[in-house]
Structure formats: structure tokens, C-alpha cells
């Protein structure tokens, strides 16, 4: 297969983990005889420093011309610590989602048996947890009408029926491919926008009689993810709730550095780790590249290249079992491995497979 991939490394640890993601992609291309071309583009704080825009037009065009985008992270403390900044790296991420029409964010939450001890939850609660959070990505408060002042401010949590319907259809499709259980998360007892979500979902559930649909308030869902994460199969929710719940879900696995994601919609899909730019780890060769590498697996699987994705997942699991791990998940007394060393080990595994 011929694939064109736009590479957006971004800020902080982004370039380091992206280097490993690209190396794994190239290894898979060699193994399966794919022709993959890469084109790098600016985004985030790096782009602001270079051209004054966190998602420049040239980057947008690069993404539109690609078959897929491999993205790492954006964010920089110099913007986080300046509340008066008019341009921020995160605006580039929102612009990319909006301009590419990426309305569906798919975040798998899967535990690794050899890392259960790293989870903040007890073994008997978290072992076997395996669910997908599907977050609506281009609506809600992140994109609604805003007003900001020193005495008053507001964000509008706007949703339309078509926006809700299309994300629910994505969620039902995933539920049908898995254990046929969909949980719609809202706050319908308080929010009008949530009542629209629930109303539309109740209308649509009859179209999917093979899927068990239940409804859960977001505060209850947050508690249930801690008390009984194995309850969930596919969870779907709006933008703000999804942002919070997916980060919560990532922590129960033991490290945010383990989980990938995909954002899909109207144009080029984007594949990225769920963690941030972690500027404190920049340049130290300690960032965990596995989420970036597993994002590559999701990229191949998106194009129905299942064997390629399966080999990447097998290599990642083998690296964990062999204790080839970055410091935050390494077992006591085991050898130390950095970002580059973990990535190279996985590349070597793929080459030898």
C-alpha cells in the first residue's frame, strides 16, 4: 500500500517520541512492503515561535494532502504561565480538529497484565478492564460562543441534533464490533445540552437492537470508572466530559504514556498519544514512546492493515514483558532504558519477526 503521512511532532517530548513512532512505521513498511512517505509540518508553540500561528495554513494543507496525520503533542509553560497570551499552542490543536472535521475521538483504555501493579486501583478491580471512550471533538464549550472579561465570562455548550447523531453512530458501530454494550454519558438532570443528547440517543437506540444501551450521569460515570472499570465496553460523551473522563481512564492503566488515540471525521484522520507535551521531560530521553507507537498501530488498523497493527502490539507487549521500559513503569532493580532504547528494541523485534 502507498501511504502519505503528515508528521506533526509539536512541542516538549513530542519530537523524541515521534522519532520512535516514525521508526516503527518504517520498520512495518519494510516488513510488509508498503511505500510510505512522510512530510513534517509545524504546529503548537514551535509554530508560534516560527510563524506566529499554532496551526499554519501550510500545515493544514500538508494534512489535507496526506492519507493520515501522525501527531505527538503541543504545549509550553511560557504560554501556560501567561494568562494574557492571545495565541496559545492548544489553539492549534483545536484548529486542526475543526478544520479537518475530526468530530470523533476514539481512546481505548486497556490494561497490561504486567503493569497492573502500577495502577492506583486494586488488582481485582482493574485487571481485565478493556473499554473505549468515544468523545465528541468539535462541539460543546470548546467551540461554542465565548466571552471573557475580568469580572464576567461564559462558554456556551452548544450542540445540534446532527452533531449528536453522527457521534452516536460512530459509538454504535464500535459497540457492534465489541461486546455490544454502549453507555451514553451526560448530565441530563441539569444541562439542556445533555437532555438533547439523551433524547437523540433514546430515539436512535431502536436502530441498534443488538446493542444494550444504558445512560449514566457524568459524575456517576467517573465514580464507576474507579469502582468497576470492567463494567464499560464503549462509552460515548460530549467534548468537555470526554476530555476529563478519558484522562481519568488513562490513569487506571498505570501510566498516561501507554495509551493511543485516533481522531476521525470528514477529512484526514489523526493518530496521537493521549498524554501532553510534558516539557519537564524534554530532551532527557525518559519519555515513554509506547503511546506514540501504539498510535501507529491504530493508524495501520484504520486502513484495515490488521496484521501490521497486530505485530506492533505484539512488539510492545514483548518489550514490556522483557522489562524494556522507560523509568516511570520500570520494575525496581531492572536495567534502565530511555525513549530511544525502547523504540529501537521494538524496531529490532519487528525486523526479526
* Alpha helix segments (H runs only) across the chain: 14-32, 44-51, 57-65, 77-80, 89-99, 123-126, 161-177, 192-204, 218-227, 239-251, 290-302, 306-321, 339-352
Range of the structural domain that residue 251 is part of: 107-147+157-255
pLDDT given at position 282? 94
Domain co-membership, 96 together with 4: yes
Q: What is the DSSP string of 5-67?
A: EEEEEESTTHHHHHHHHHHHHHHHHHHHT-EEEEEE---HHHHHHHHS-SS-HHHHHHHHHSS
| pLDDT > 70 in the chain, percent | 99
The catalytically annotated residue of 11, 53, 76, 142 is 142
All residues at 6 or more sequence positions from 95 whose CB lies less than 8 Å from its CB, including other chains: 54, 55, 60
The catalytically annotated residue of 187, 233, 337, 349 is 187
In this predicted structure, the answer to whether residue 83 has a pLDDT above a threshold of 70 is: no
> What's the average model confidence in pLDDT over 192-214?
97
Give me the number of domains the chain comprises.
2
337 included as an active-site residue: no
Domain boundary among 196, 224, 255: 255
Residue 32 lies in a domain: yes
2 included as an active-site residue: no
| pLDDT > 90 in the chain, percent | 77
The catalytically annotated residue of 80, 130, 155, 247 is 247
164-187: per-residue pLDDT in tens? 999 999 999 999 999 999 999 999
256-283: per-residue pLDDT in tens? 778 899 999 999 999 999 888 999 999 9
295 burial type by CB count under 10 A (0-12 exposed, 13-18 middle, 19+ buried): buried
Domain co-membership, 24 together with 96: yes
142 included as an active-site residue: yes
The catalytically annotated residue of 113, 123, 214, 219 is 219
Domain co-membership, 128 together with 93: no
11 included as an active-site residue: no
Separation CA 108–CA 172 (nearest Å): 15
219 included as an active-site residue: yes
> What's the average model confidence in pLDDT over 141-148?
88
Burial letters for 78-107: b for 16+ Cβ neighbours within 10 Å, e otherwise? Answer: ebeeeeeeeebbbbbbbbbbbbbebbbbbb
Domain co-membership, 250 together with 282: no
The catalytically annotated residue of 49, 67, 130, 243 is 243
Domain co-membership, 226 together with 281: no
Amino acid at each position: 500500500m502507498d501511504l502519505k503521512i503528515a508528521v506533526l511532532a509539536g512541542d516538549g517530548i513530542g519530537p523524541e517520541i515521534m522519532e520512535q513512532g516514525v521508526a516503527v512505521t518504517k520498520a512495518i513498511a519494510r516488513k510488509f512492503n508498503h511505500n510510505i512517505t512522510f512530510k513534517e509540518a509545524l504546529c503548537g508553540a514551535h509554530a508560534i515561535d516560527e510563524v506566529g500561528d499554532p496551526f499554519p495554513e501550510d500545515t493544514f494543507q500538508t494534512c489535507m494532502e496526506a492519507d493520515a496525520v501522525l501527531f505527538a503533542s503541543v504545549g509550553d509553560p511560557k504560554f501556560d504561565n501567561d494568562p494574557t497570551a492571545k495565541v496559545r499552542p492548544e489553539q492549534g490543536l483545536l484548529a486542526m480538529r475543526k478544520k479537518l472535521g475530526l468530530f470523533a475521538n476514539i481512546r481505548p483504555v486497556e490494561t497490561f497484565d504486567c503493569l497492573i501493579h502500577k495502577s492506583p486501583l486494586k488488582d481485582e478491580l482493574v485487571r481485565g478492564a478493556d473499554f473505549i471512550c468515544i468523545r465528541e471533538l468539535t462541539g460543546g464549550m470548546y467551540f461554542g460562543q465565548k466571552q471573557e472579561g475580568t469580572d464576567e465570562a461564559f462558554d456556551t455548550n452548544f450542540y445540534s441534533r446532527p452533531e449528536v447523531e453522527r457521534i452516536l453512530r460512530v459509538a454504535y458501530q464500535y459497540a457492534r464490533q465489541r461486546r455490544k454494550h454502549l453507555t451514553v454519558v451526560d448530565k441530563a438532570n441539569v444541562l439542556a445540552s445533555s437532555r438533547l443528547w439523551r433524547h437523540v440517543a433514546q430515539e436512535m437506540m431502536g436502530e441498534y437492537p443488538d446493542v444494550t444501551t444504558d445512560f449514566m450521569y457524568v459524575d456517576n460515570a467517573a465514580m464507576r470508572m474507579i469502582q468497576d472499570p470492567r463494567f464499560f465496553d464503549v462509552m460515548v460523551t460530549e467534548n468537555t466530559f470526554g476530555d476529563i473522563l478519558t484522562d481519568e481512564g488513562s490513569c487506571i492503566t498505570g501510566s498516561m504514556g501507554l495509551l493511543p488515540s485516533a481522531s476521525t471525521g470528514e477529512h484526514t484522520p489523526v493518530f496521537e498519544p493521549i498524554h501532553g507535551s510534558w516539557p519537564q521531560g524534554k530532551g532527557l530521553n525518559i519519555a515513554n514512546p509506547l503511546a506514540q507507537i501504539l498510535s501507529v498501530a491504530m493508524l495501520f488498523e484504520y486502513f484495515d492493515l490488521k496484521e501490521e497493527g497486530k505485530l506492533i502490539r505484539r512488539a510492545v507487549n514483548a518489550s514490556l514483558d522483557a522489562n524494556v521500559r522507560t523509568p516511570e513503569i520500570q520494575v525496581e532493580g531492572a536495567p534502565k532504558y530511555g525513549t530511544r532504547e525502547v523504540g529501537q528494541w521494538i524496531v529490532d523485534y519487528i525486523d526479526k519477526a
